[in-house]
Chain A
């Protein structure tokens, strides 16, 4: 039965979930949307971020969001290093499409297996004062474990959006996939730009991972559930458009939440692909393609 409060709660929960999805997809909006690199391991980096939050939170009791922010520079360096390897091994010789994909597949499994070997397959979680608290506005529930990730994700999205639009490096990141040689003619080294952008994309995974483990317990293979969603959001958002990606994430979150509430949770995983197929059929450049 559809009641007003059930509907309102489903929409609000979906909105909060969608905000979190934006944090999951934003790194991919840069790496896949702007750089055209099919980094299928992105959700695995998010899991690595979640485990970083788990380890430091359980050992030192640091707030998970703070851990995410502090770990971001390390993830940036790891990302820059991985791009260097990817460039040297595949992109330079033009083998990125198939071998590159296999490279990221392999990376995904390595991250998963290392986490399983070290921490096992048990679900891990973090402690923070606000997890378990919630606000109630009228009949709408706002659990903090969803609200905090939403707020952080909005801040992250706004930050990346402004960075890409307002800085020289940000504009170069947008330009590098459009015309590499033209970028060189502006006196900019495209490899360095891509390395920086890849690092930036991976850095967002540290924060997204912290948000993931605030929302609920995490085990090493849950990242796989986000591969389809993250890619669907980037494509829906029009490949590389940050504002488009954000709106696509909110739409997906809301639709998923409605399906979850009114049709049952088993349908929810099909939503991302359903929305993606529909969009590609009706508007191949995504909802907000330039």
Chain B
């Protein structure tokens, strides 16, 4: 069954500050779409608008989950999550005083996820062996890279159909960035996820993205229909590849 996300003409911000100036993008069933942009371009705000954390002042956000279309504007974050959309938030936002295992179990709170809890937990421990080793350790005491793995695994525990990932590479050593991106690709494959990933690190993001958008000052500056068209775009070469 198909899962997709479509965003049309979304304007949103915080109080008087307008961040998104009419954004339109789409993530089709089974795609991994990269959302590229520098700090403050509006990537996180867009993710928050999808999740119901920020309410758009205009525009439409809709998701198709298992062939059923849902309007997301006006829904609370917990309602959006309950539809089968998960966000790995900026800064990871783990529960620092809960153990690794407790964090993972928190992910399985929603009813649809509870039925698959053993299966999903086993899968997470298999995919991220470090989490199995540290299951009794407090999440706050782990390294940044390990925390990012836990944040990803915790989102998987919610049994999502659509996964949004906000800047997975921030604050990670290059080796962990590469490893995180590989893990995202693996999760996507094994779970048949539809993925929207915000990233500043073009080189890493393009490794796993089917296509992407470049967001500048709150609007889509460029839409690349394939990996090649992204790599060959003049603006991307200038901004991200220094060519």
Contact = CB atoms under 8 A, between A and B. Distances in A.
Interface string A173-191: 0110011011111111100
A290 interface: yes
A1 B192 CA distance: 77
B78 interface: yes
B105 A171 contact: yes
Contact of B94 (A174, A182, A290): A182
A174 B53 CA distance: 22
B97 A185 contact: no
A290 B53 CA distance: 30
Given A168-B105, A290-B138, A184 B97 contact: no
A216 B102 CA distance: 41
Given A178-B95, A178-B97, A290-B138, A185 B81 contact: yes
Contact of B93 (A174, A182, A187, A290): A182
A184 B105 contact: no
A179 B158 contact: no
Given A172-B106, A184-B81, A189 B95 contact: no
Contact of A189 (B78, B97, B106): B78
A194 B86 CA distance: 23
B81 A174 contact: no
A179 B158 CA distance: 17
B100 to A, nearest CB: 13
Q: Counting chain B CB atoms within 10 Å of each CB, which of A185, A187, A188, A290 scores highest?
A: A187
A184 B76 contact: yes
B93 A186 contact: no
A172 B114 CA distance: 14
Interface string B73-86: 00011100110001
Interface string B82-121: 1000110100011111100010011111100110000000
Contacts of B105: 168, 171
Q: Counting chain A CB atoms within 10 Å of each CB, which of B51, B93, B158 scores highest?
A: B93
A242 to B, nearest CB: 13
A175 B93 contact: no
A175 B94 CA distance: 9
Interface in B99-156: 102, 105-110, 113-114, 138, 154-155
Nearest to A176: B95
B106 A171 contact: yes
Which range contains the number of A residues in contact with the other chain?
Answer: 10 to 19
A186 B76 contact: no
B82 A178 contact: no
Given A186-B81, A186-B110, A188-B78, A179 B93 contact: yes
A187 B78 contact: yes
A171 B98 CA distance: 8
Interface in B138-197: 138, 154-155, 158
A182 B95 contact: yes
A34 B122 CA distance: 30
A178 B77 contact: no
Contacts of B154: 186
Q: Counting chain B CB atoms within 10 Å of each CB, which of A172, A179, A182 scores highest?
A: A182
A166 to B, nearest CB: 10
Contacts of A183: 106
A179 B87 contact: no
Contacts of B87: 185
Interface string A60-72: 0000000000000
A174 B77 contact: no
Given A171-B102, A181-B77, A181-B89, A188 B94 contact: no
Given A168-B105, A182-B89, A186-B106, A175 B95 contact: yes
B109 A178 contact: no
A6 to B, nearest CB: 42
Interface string B58-84: 000000000000000000111001100
A181 B109 contact: no
Contacts of B89: 181-182, 185
Given A179-B93, A181-B93, A174 B98 contact: yes
B109 A188 contact: yes
B191 to A, nearest CB: 17
Nearest to B88: A185
10 contacts: A174-B98, A175-B95, A178-B96, A179-B94, A182-B95, A184-B53, A185-B51, A187-B81, A187-B158, A290-B138
A-B CB proximity, top 4 nearest: A187-B110, A187-B81, A184-B77, A182-B93
Given A171-B106, A185-B89, 8 more contacts: A168-B114, A171-B105, A179-B94, A186-B81, A186-B109, A187-B78, A187-B82, A188-B106
Interface of A: 168, 171-172, 174-175, 178-179, 181-189, 290
